[in-house]
Amino acid sequence: MQAYCVKCRTKREIKNACSITMKNGKPATQGLCPVCGTKVFRIGKAKA
């Protein structure tokens, strides 16, 4: 799964991706950018 990295300004594969639930109850995926190590975030269920 990919997410937009704000620091690199491009879409990157999510490293160490984990599924979380936001405060409003919707699913999201959170992880790290493999290039710069910045936290990346994508709203929506993780695709296996």
Domain for residue 28, yes or no? yes
Q: Is the pLDDT of residue 48 over 90?
A: no
Q: Report the alpha-carbon distance of residue 47 to residue 29 in Å, rounded.
A: 10
Q: Is residue 48 part of a domain?
A: no
pTM value is 0.81
What's the pLDDT score for residue 6?
96
- State the pLDDT at residue 45: 81
Query: For residue 19, is it within any domain?
Result: yes
What are the DSSP calls for 1-48, one per residue? -EEEETTTTEEEEPEEEEEEE-TTS-EEEEEE-TTT--EEEEESPPP-
Domain count, the chain: 1
Tens digit of pLDDT for each residue in 12-38?
999 999 999 999 999 999 999 999 999
33 is in which domain, residue-wise? Answer: 2-43
